Structure 1
């Protein structure tokens, strides 16, 4: 990595430290959903809770996944900003290894490496638990987690179950933030 890239990463780290989940050492390797069926995962998911993410600043966060003919997945993420505008981004997800279909890489920008997208758990019909982690310089890692649902609400029992699964995966669940899914009519 070139010196200017190191400086950029360090500056970015300093600016975003309060809105991310930083940890020393390398990323953990939690188990993912067994026998993951990507076709059943397609459709719209609503964010219920998440670890803070600097790239998410609105409410009504949702993701829509569409299987493409070449086996990749079109990813459409949208949120409602506080000025009433819809902010969205489109990307592509790819299964990294066919023997582990629950481990995907997502890219939103050409030339930028894929971001990890690990489906830790899902029943396909009501909830999904997603984890992402990247290690930098073998010194620290930044992780993200999303609790998703097929509707804008999820029962407390399921949320508690998913908290247990995240904690077992090594995620600090005390840093989870509830997502605001109210007043989202404009998103449909």
Structure 2
């Protein structure tokens, strides 16, 4: 098979065209994804249940408020993932599937919200299971640059400021840029949901 420079340019252009919507919503970073440490001795069973989004790196697919995700273990050992948000006064829900991609490293999950899309990384960097969880996801683009997501989750709609600051420091200590992290809106949710 012969690959010409013209074909390589066309392939690169196609990849960029397909990824442009994703990139425009995020801030791309040069180089490959960082390899952060994940939760040691992670227990998927303890992680199951309802989590509220406290802070995040901006994400094109999350535009509403009162964002939460419920994780439920299924009989086949996959995870039912139901995320919801309030957008324009309506509750919007999406369901996906989570899997443990490496049984030796159960804190590295993969989640997909579509049968046609591959699983996206969903790594639990740290959690105490009862109060907070720090989640990271990153996608390399030809190892030239990467697009990443980070979330601070809680079992309640609020977290103490000290916990949020400690969480941000954990991301930073793992070479994850959270300078653009924003607080999620979790006010007035129970009146609507």
Pairing 1:167–2:169 present: no
Could you tell me how far 1:12 is from its partner in structure 2?
5.6
Alignment match, 1:53: 59
Displacement after TM superposition at 1:37 (Å): 0.3
Q: CA deviation at 1:87?
A: 1.4
1:34 aligns to 2:40 (yes or no): yes
Q: Which range moved further: 11-20 or 135-144?
A: 11-20
- Is 1:157 aligned to 2:159, yes or no? no
Compute the displacement of 1:7 (Å).
4.0
Deviation by residue 1:70-113 (Cα, 9 ceiling, x = unmatched):
111100010000x2011111000000111100001111111211
| Other structure's SS at 1:77 match | strand
Number of residue-to-residue matches in the alignment: 187
Residue by residue over 1:26-50, the C-alpha shift from the partner in whole angstroms, topping out at 9 and shown as x without a partner, is: 1010000000000000111000000
Which residue number corresponds to residue 92 of structure 1? 97
2:11, 2:59 → 1: CA distance?
Answer: 21
User: Does the aligned pair in 2 maintain the 1:21–1:51 contact within 8 Å?
Assistant: no
C-alpha RMSD over aligned residues: 2.0
In the superposition, the TM-score normalised over structure 1's length comes to 0.92
Say if 2:74 is the partner of 1:68.
yes
Correspondence for 1:116: 121
Alpha-carbon distance in structure 1 between the residues aligned to 2:53 and 2:154: 7
Gaps of 5+ in 1: none
- With over 3 angstroms needed to count, the CA separation of the structure-2 counterparts of 1:70 and 1:15, relative to structure 1, is closer
